[in-house]
Amino acid sequence: MLTFAGAAKADWISQLVRFERNFEAARTPAIGGSAPDDQFRGQGGIDFGFLTRMLRGKKSMAQLRQPVADDSLLPDLHQSELAARDFSPAIESPVLLELARFTTVERGDTFAGILTAQGLAWADINEINADVNEVFRLTKLQAGWPISFRLDATVEPGAPGRLISLHFEDSDNSTVWVERTSVGYTAHRDETVFTSKLLVAEGKIESTFWVDAQALGLPYQVIKKAEQAQQCVVDFKRDISPGDSFRILFDGLIDSNGKVVDADKIHYVSFDTRKGRREVFRFVSEGRASFYDRQARRSCSSSLSLLREPLVRPFRMSSPFNPKRKHPITGKIRPHRGVDFAAPRGTRILAAGDGVVIAKRIHSGGYGKHVIIRHDSTYETLYAHMSRFPKGLRVGSRVKQSDVIGYVGTTGSSTGNHLHYEIKKNGRHIDPLKSTLPRGQKLTGAKKSAFEDEQRAIIARLDQAEALASPTAGGGG
């Protein structure tokens, strides 16, 4: 929170105003004369750059906070830290001045406290506070939000400051405004209306994707979403190098100034790299939008799938997973950490998923002849009571899903031919029949044809989409 007192603040403003009045008087011709020299005026009025520079080093200025928001999202908050302008262009009226001020909500700040720090009168603070509360619940004010003020700079020395208007964004697409009227203050909340347009952005990598995409005029949000879409396909550090190119097809959200501010949907992202083209297509399956490669493989999904019943038929489940199983005679808890499948001796046992054999052991009791496969950093499977191992299977062997890794038997603590099958997830046993198991996320059947239709549509849209206008090209819209 800003700490200096209201009166001191108003004094400072008054000094600035008097300084400016003297300056104006010295250079403005008599009433009715010719207009002031334009070189002293910026777009909005008097150029106060010299005052900004002069005051920047002063202690009070150090307490002005810079907004923390992203440049591209809040461009109007990123102008000079102090600007004052003449908003009453008629020469005969007294010069009215306003000061543009920014502050950032900090933890523990109240709205009234923030207004107090701007040197406003108590009566005004109460009114503004009440007005804002009608359009926005002030308890929801969040630390980090920038607030912009326009203050009346013509207040007399010693008098409280006076607000002309203030605004802050309470979400990505709405802004809360307070404005002074002839009868007091009024607050309203404006929803920003975005239009959507199919756009394609094509660029070449000269330094990094982020830098080059920004240079192309893509807003932060769009770059972030494009990167997320590709994060499991492209290694941005190793795969992308200067000379590569990228293409992003998206529904751009365009604000009232014609500026692309975000993407409603990213349809397609491709990178042409030394290692070939890496592309992802957006597709909705079972109500969920994901990105898939040309072969209908979902990006960012585990390629691992595990079988619930890793053996060739015929078999039947003879004993379920039961971590609290009691011994029928002693009554002691003897957990059954796997599932038993009764099957004829010699039935082929299959690797539940791709992986590496990490154990191939023969125990006289317990598991008997058994194999353990590690699939990834999360999953391991164990297959027990085998009659024998296949030839060539070793610790360290790489196996593919459904490779034969053993044959049903009754070695170890076993009363009949069966496979005892366990799955460990992060070191803990899970029920092979009831737990959610990783499934390879490749579209098949009708879903795959639907994806292929969408893929063709996306490729056609790449040619139909309007090219994102480069900010340096001078165009726009």
Residue 227: CB minimum distance to Zn ion, A = 47
Site string for Zn ion, 45-74 (x = CB under 5 A): ------------------------------
- The smaller minimum CB distance to Zn ion, of residues 132 and 384, is found at 384
Residue whose CB is nearest to Zn ion in the complex, by number? 420
Of 92, 86, 87, the residue nearest 32 (C-alpha): 92
Measured CA to CA, the distance from residue 282 to residue 152 in angstroms comes to 51
Site string for Zn ion, 416-455 (x = CB under 5 A): ----x-----------------------------------
Residue 295: CB minimum distance to Zn ion, A = 39
Which bin fits 23, alpha (ψ -120 to 50), beta or left (φ > 0)?
A: alpha
Residue 337: CB minimum distance to Zn ion, A = 8
Binders in 187-226 for Zn ion, by CB under 5 A: none
Q: Which segment (141-149, 157-165, 332-340, 358-366) binds Zn ion by CB under 5 A?
A: 332-340
- The smaller minimum CB distance to Zn ion, of residues 140 and 327, is found at 327
Binders in 264-293 for Zn ion, by CB under 5 A: none
Q: Which segment (164-172, 211-219, 415-423, 447-455) binds Zn ion by CB under 5 A?
A: 415-423
Residue 284: CB minimum distance to Zn ion, A = 42
Measured CA to CA, the distance from residue 406 to residue 422 in angstroms comes to 15
Q: Which segment (125-133, 296-304, 334-342, 426-434) binds Zn ion by CB under 5 A?
A: 334-342
Number of residues that bind Zn ion (CB under 5 A): 2
Of 256, 263, 267, the residue nearest 217 (C-alpha): 263
Contact 153, 10 (CB under 8 A): no
- The smaller minimum CB distance to Zn ion, of residues 369 and 420, is found at 420
Asked whether position 85 contacts Zn ion by CB under 5 A, the answer is no
- The smaller minimum CB distance to Zn ion, of residues 262 and 340, is found at 340
Site string for Zn ion, 363-402 (x = CB under 5 A): ----------------------------------------
Burial of 85 (0-12, 13-18, 19+ CB in 10 A): buried
Asked whether position 340 contacts Zn ion by CB under 5 A, the answer is yes
Residue 311: CB minimum distance to Zn ion, A = 14
Residue 200: CB minimum distance to Zn ion, A = 58
- The smaller minimum CB distance to Zn ion, of residues 167 and 385, is found at 385
Residue 319: CB minimum distance to Zn ion, A = 6
Residue 383: CB minimum distance to Zn ion, A = 11
Residue 442: CB minimum distance to Zn ion, A = 32
- The smaller minimum CB distance to Zn ion, of residues 340 and 354, is found at 340
Binding site for Zn ion (CB under 5 A): 340, 420
